[in-house]
Amino acid sequence: MPLVDHNAVHWGALARAALGLALCPLLFGVINRVKAKFAGRTGQPLLQTYFDLARLLKKGAVYSRTTTWLFPMGPLLGLACALAALCLAPLGGMPGLLSFEGDLFLFAGLLSLGRFATAAAALDTGSSFEGMGASREMQFAVPAELAQILGLAALAQATGSLSLSEMLARIDMVRWEAAGPVLALTGTALFLVLLAETCRIPVDDPNTHLELTMIHEVMVLDHSGPDLAFILYGQGVKMWTLCAMLAGLLAPVRSGDPLLDVSLGVAGVFALALVMGVVESSMARLRLLLVPRLLVGATALSALALILLLR
């Protein structure tokens, strides 16, 4: 029996989406704060990202002479994709705004559309660094996407459903007891994907200052003003969405009460942010050549999970 009826718009999810929109910049703050604590600094205020966004939105913009109309479309499309993805993602077992059988492909598709847009915009500047960044981004995306889909396929196999909301709604203690190791494997894989998609250490270092080593940052070098704000915010939304899903998988506490569940979900999201912060401050970024191996490893994990379920 389906817990979520597809092909229906879940209005309650609007509120959840709004929550995500409001809270996602906070995630950066949390991560930075954790890193600062580890480094023994006081660090930026938690709401720094909000300030940055506000400032950027107030600014004008500078565009390269090389660029075309395509250039400013990149951030817009990226943000739009992130938002659309947010509409699909459930939070704390509660369904997303829209859901249908197979929306996990749409989810992945939206993410990769955003990536496509960013990369195209980067190439539009004709800068060698941004081309380099785009090349790396697209390269890493291949195994990351594979790991993500296979991981979700494993979840689908475990829960017997093909829509994100449904499958995450079905994950609870019982399933964990039933298929604990598999879900753990999947969770790990999806966590690695999360790191890759949100460009965190060990895949990418968001606040490096050497273009040669950047991946995502270098692609947005030429964006400024509102465009940059859109990019920054898009990152936030993307991170929120992925964290929400992963939290839904890892924190499978489902009380019947929606409010409780949602708050649990939000707690899970921030817990994940903490973990990311810990990871960032406890290890260095990998050599670029090693990153694909890491992601292929993630793919292997989710494939292993899937095969364990199939046998």
Partner 1 sequence: MTLFAACLLTFLLGALASLLPRSFRAANALGSGFAALGCLLGLVPAVQALASPQDWELILYWPPPWGLGALGLDGISALFLTPALGLMGLGAVYGRGYLANMEGRKRAGPPWFFYNILAASITGVFSARDPLLLLLFWEGMALSSYFLVCMEDRDGSVRRAGRIYLVASHLGAAFLLALCLQPGASWPPAYGLAPGASVTMLPGADPAGLIFLLALVGFGSKAGLAPLGVWLPEAHPAAPSHVSAVLSGVMIKTGVYGILRVLLAYQPEPWWGWTLIAMGGGTAVLGVAGALSQAEIKRLLAWSSMENAGLMLLGLGLGTLGRAHDAPLVAALGFSAALIHMVNHGVFKSLLFFCAGSVLHGAGERRMDQLGGLLKRMPATGTAFLVASLGICGLPPLGGFASELLLGLAAMKGLLLPTSSLDIPSLAALAALILCAGIAAAVFVGAFGAVFLGEPRSQAAQNAHEAPALMRWPMIFLACLAPLMGLCAPLLLNTALGVLEPALPGAQALGAPLVTGLTTASLVFALLLALFGGLFLLRRTLLRGRDVRTGPTWDCGYIAPTARIQYTYSSFAQPLSEMFRSLTGSTGSATRPWRLFPVRVGYFAETQDRVLTAFLAAFNFMDARLEALHRLQQGQVHVYVLYIAATLVALLAWGLW
**Which positions from 267 through 306 interact with partner 1, judged by CB under 8 A?**
292, 303, 306
CB of 86 to partner 1, least distance (A): 10
CB of 54 to partner 1, least distance (A): 12
Would you call the peptide bond into 258 cis, given omega within 30 degrees of 0 as the criterion?
no
Using CB under 8 A as the binding rule, whether residue 76 contacts partner 1 is answered as yes
**Minimum CB distance to partner 1 smaller for 83 or for 239:** 83
CB of 73 to partner 1, least distance (A): 8
Binding span for partner 1 by CB under 8 A among 39-47, 164-172, 226-234, 244-252: 226-234
**Minimum CB distance to partner 1 smaller for 72 or for 202:** 72
Binding span for partner 1 by CB under 8 A among 39-47, 94-102, 180-188, 200-208: 94-102
> Which of 3, 6, 286, 300 contacts partner 1 by CB under 8 A?
6
**Minimum CB distance to partner 1 smaller for 164 or for 251:** 164
Q: Residues 19, 91: contact at Cβ < 8 Å?
A: yes
Residue 91 DSSP code: B
Q: Residues 233, 57: contact at Cβ < 8 Å?
A: no
Binders in 31-70 for partner 1, by CB under 8 A: 57, 59-68, 70
Rounded to whole angstroms, the Cα distance separating 223 from 225 reads 7
Using CB under 8 A as the binding rule, whether residue 214 contacts partner 1 is answered as no
**Minimum CB distance to partner 1 smaller for 32 or for 125:** 125
Burial of residue 302 (number of CB atoms within 10 Å: 0-12, 13-18, 19+): buried
Rounded to whole angstroms, the Cα distance separating 24 from 41 reads 23
Q: Within a 13 Å sphere around the CA of 25, how many CA atoms are in the beta-carbon half?
A: 16
Rounded to whole angstroms, the Cα distance separating 138 from 133 reads 9
Using CB under 8 A as the binding rule, whether residue 132 contacts partner 1 is answered as yes
Locate 286 and state its tokens.
Answer: 């990998």
Instruction: Give bridge partners of residue 94 from the DSSP assignment.
Output: 91
Binders in 136-175 for partner 1, by CB under 8 A: 136, 138-139, 141-143, 145-146, 149-150, 153, 156-157, 160, 162
Binding span for partner 1 by CB under 8 A among 20-28, 35-43, 79-87, 248-256: 79-87
Q: Which of 249, 235, 239 is nearest to 270 (CA)?
A: 239
Locate 296 and state its tokens.
Answer: 């292929």
CB of 222 to partner 1, least distance (A): 5
Residue 11 CB partners (closer than 8 Å, separation 6+) = none
